[in-house]
Chain A
Amino acid sequence: MGRLETIMGHGGRIYARAIALETWSPRSPKRDFSPRCTSGTYCRIVRRSAGLALAVLLFLVAGSPTASAIPAFAKKAGLRCSACHEAWPKLNAFGQAFRDNGYQIGNERDSPVYQSPLYWPAGVRFTPQWHRERNGAEATDQSATGVQPVTTQGFDLSGIDFWFAGLLAKNISFVVLPSSDEYGNFHFESGWVRFDNLLKSPWLNVKAGKYELDMVVSEKRMLTLSQVGGIYQMYHYLPLIDPKAFAAAPLAAGETGASTTAFGIGDNQLGIEIGGHSHNDYTRYTVSVLTSSDGAVNLPTSKGYDTFMDVSRTLMVNSLGPQTFGAFNYIGQSPTQYLTQTPAGGGAPVNIPGSGFGNRSFTRTGAYGLLSAKKLDVVPLYMHATENADIALGIPSNQALPTGVQNPTWNGRMLELYYTQNLQFIVIARYEDIRNARQVFASSLSNYGDMDVETIAFRWMPFMHSRAGLAICPEYSKLHQIGASATGTNQTLSSAFIGLDFAF
């Protein structure tokens, strides 16, 4: 019953995430699932060509010259990308401080009045790619067991980001980010205005609009892009509904059997944020009050509000450099009932958007570290999640819970490593697991829905300058989840990916 649903990430990219619904199927254009290149001369040529290409790539990586720069964005900041990005788009300490200071360098030339009239604060990000996706237990009509492995591969496109970001005036910054999926369906991924350094203090900044929560371990600036490895799974995980236990506890009228929220703490949210930081950016805090809609516009749920807060502190440890520790907490709510309206021509009643009530709560609480030692960065992350059973099963709040149903809780852990060889080359490795501490149904296996994800990648940036960036990013990611296939067997997904990730 578990499936991996694709979701919109940054750049409108489509990523896989685990949610508790029905069988998984790729939400991609029609694909030929017949396996290719299994034997024969053609395959040998393809493999040899791939090997040659890899050898050339490694040669280029090993012998690449020092990054050169082409001036352009210098009109604004006069800096190259590497000043702010450890490896684009991952921020370093200076980039984080620049961001926290409202995109201001602090040299009294930040205000747009100092810019050329021709300066236009816009950027584009896009990623042509080749990828191979394997679903170890895809539900098919042809399989005697109901599921079978399905692999597909080919050249593909990402969505596109149009970034508009900068200053409206000194200490007033903004972002507008129209983003599309790979079909060209646009939405506003971000859009906000921030009043910086209020009362002439870096401790008071106010931002309103749609924005990324101040997750220091940022999913929006991660360096992996594949369907499986392109998100932090724990940021989007929702408990699976055990089909056997579910069958033993039939739904009453009005119960849907599916989660009433698609919440992901990695999703951009709508609200207002108060944040601040010390002058050196070593101590930071943010507090947000958010519309309870997981970032969906036009008030589709209820009149409820969520809260989010994050605090972090950086310690300077002699020769190791800065070591950051932080914690966050999200308290959200989701309606379990709606006022309904029967269409004039008859038919099933439909929910009236915004009329939700009977809110029930969920939480996400975590702690993280950004540890570094010269070229090595280590990012541990732990998150504990709770959810009300009414939300998990879509049970109206005025109805009693079925026997054996309980509020689910789960824990996510992640260890991420970055090895920055030089300005142009970075290796990424990540291990993530999610363990259910309490299942929705007490009768479910204790490890039902547990997940392990492993990702390894590198990112080679043949150049990095202040106007454009290009990264060649091979990646392999594998996800294993207990009982997540359509027939209740374990599910394994894997992505092999190589993209030409560029921003201009």
Chain B
Amino acid sequence: MTGSLWRLLARALTSPSGRLGTFVLALLTLFVIAGPWLLPDPAGMPDLLAGATPPGGWHLFGTDQLNRDILSRVVSGGRISLSVAGLAVTLAVTLGALVGGLAGFHGGWLDGVLMRVVDGALAIPRLFLLLLLVAVWEQIPLGALVLVLGATGWFATSRIVRGEVLRLREAEFVLAATALGAGPGRIILRHLLPNVAGPLLVAATLGVGDVILLEAGLSYLGVGVRPPTPSWGGMILDARPLLTTAPWASIFPGLAIVITVLAVNLIGDALRGALDPRNA
């Protein structure tokens, strides 16, 4: 399984957009990990009187209304946004693979029930599911946010996995494995899932972009990541009253989101192109 995944990644890297996306994402990850050590403390010394200053000099991105350096806040916010997205997507893809694999392999009534539920869940726009869930907490803890994001993101993946499993279930290598005495669990894990690894990786990568946007949106509405933890969406929310006087406070966090999501989408597209048998 890992062999074919590496080949997939290698093929994805042959496309210029794939390379660009990977490069940007790598750079971002580097900033986000190393940044907080090199930059001034984002939460340090809020100074209401000094107020927001435009970009220039020490403050590459300017400062916000509490005179905190925006660049360092963007970098710290990046840590949160990227980790939340990564964890949530891992959870979502795992759930999707499990449910989809089970439904496809077992078939019958279980498949029927599960897919009906998935159909229903897919009809509700993900944001609304999230709104219902997060409205429960006054201040949603980060862990719960990750759980909620993950729990709302597995439906489409389960369909993909189910489709693949249905297709492969009747394939000869499965019959061979069964004839050799392999049980259903082993067949699913060792034979069926590796074949789904490719599409899963694509879905996961593109899912990261979606989650970053959703988490930013929730934070913007005030129900996602809450202060004092920095987040890109939260920064845009805080900067809203300053739109006329200090637009840079809204623009830079947003740009960070755009660049990250764009990079991730480019990688996802390159992976999807690499999966296409016509490009083999």
| Chains A and B form a bound pair | no
The residues of B with any CB-CB pair to A shorter than 8 Å are none
Which A residues form the contact surface with B (CB < 8 A)? none
